[in-house]
A = this chain, B = another copy of it.
Amino acid sequence: MTASTRLGFEVLGQDAHCHARRGRLLTRHGPVETPVFMPVGTQATVKAVTPAQLHELGAEILLANTYHLYLRPGTEVIAALGGLHRMMGWDRAILTDSGGFQVFSLREIAKIEEHGVTFASHLDGSRHLLTPEKSIEIQEVLGSDVVMAFDHCPPAGASQADLRAAMERTERWARRCIDARGRDDYQLFGIVQGGVDLALRRASLAGLTALPFDGYALGGLSVGETREATWATIAAIAPELPRDKARYLMGVGTPEDLLVSVGHGVDMFDCVLPTRNARNGRLLTATGDINIRNHQYRLDDRPIEEGCGCYTCRNFSRGYLRHLSKADEILASTLASLHNLHLLIDLMRAARRALDEGNFTAFRDDALARRGIRP
């Protein structure tokens, strides 16, 4: 990082009719234009896709998972291989989660204490302790551009008391993350918890915004609650996140989720579903999802979506993709992942253009209508 590199978030424009904004996240690995969808590279690779292909897609930031990378290959390896960027051959920005979401999803075998969480590795059962301090330390070794605070992520359907306890612990842990920070060449984001309870969300937000975070995320959504409850929570809380800092909605990623949430002022998104679904033959289109393995595509010489500019749609037919998928060919996963990632990255590119041109709400409502959603 040169002395002149400024980190942070700039609001470039505010829509006149809704909370949507055009922004730019400044990192030491270049700027990230927002709103943005971040492909997920759990194990230091976006599954089935090369960094060159991610560049071609226009990706400016990826997400990687601290929990997985800590267990395999481990921080010793990642440090020896020059940090996460150099190891995975990615020279643009990387956001890392804190590991909280993963260890809490192991909760049958996790021991949760105020100090941290003891858990058994899903790989070999070995026991590990993750604390706020440890999570920050790992993410600093990874060399992340955006580090997430270690949070207590309760399950959907948790009791009001459990939600409150998790929210309050998240705030105490957030202070410890701030204190554990050892460098200033990255941005540290706090995570607002509280489930779909707006009072708890607002209490969480009040506590976290009193701390010097560089950005704020909404965590604990899309974990089993209804879409109506997710959207209502986003609608109420996203606009209340600090206006001058980046707003990140964690783990939420259908086209309609993105369109609606941008309207409420969210800047950043990630989700594994576009790539996971791709590997199962489930493809996104502007008018809905299709399963490419269906018999109806057997002789279909058209691309997944007419007019789509992705490598897959420019070169290959539905019939060929169906063949590859039925034959369990690796290329099926690659081509489907490229298409699904392109759709979401391009949707956010179109949203930015609409914001720049002052017609975001019309763009959003039209795109939602094509997906069958009447807001």
Contacts and interface: CB of A to CB of B under 8 A. Distances in A.
Interface of A: 43-45, 47-52, 72-73, 76-77, 80-82, 87-89, 298-299, 301, 311, 315-317, 319-320, 322-324, 326-327, 329-331, 333-335
A171 to B, nearest CB: 34
A280 to B, nearest CB: 13
Contacts of A326: 72-73
Nearest to A330: B48
**How many copies of this chain?**
2
Contacts of A72: 323, 326-327
Nearest to A76: B299
A77 B319 contact: yes
Nearest to A320: B87
B320 A88 contact: yes
- A72, A76, A334: which has the most chain B beta carbons within 10 Å? A334
A76 B323 CA distance: 12
A329 B72 CA distance: 12
A48 B298 contact: no
Nearest to A90: B315
Nearest to A68: B327
A45 B324 contact: yes
A77 B73 CA distance: 43
Contacts of A334: 48, 50, 330, 334
Contacts of A51: 315
A49 B89 contact: no
A142 to B, nearest CB: 13
Nearest to A43: B327
B331 A50 contact: yes
A311 B52 contact: yes
A319 B87 contact: yes
Given A43-B327, A50-B334, 13 more contacts: A45-B324, A45-B329, A45-B331, A47-B329, A50-B311, A50-B335, A52-B311, A73-B327, A77-B298, A81-B317, A88-B320, A89-B320, A334-B334
B323 A73 contact: yes
Contacts of A327: 43, 72-73
A81 B44 contact: no
Contacts of A317: 81, 87
A82 B301 contact: yes
A298 B330 contact: no
A316 B48 contact: no
A80 B50 contact: no
A49 B331 contact: yes
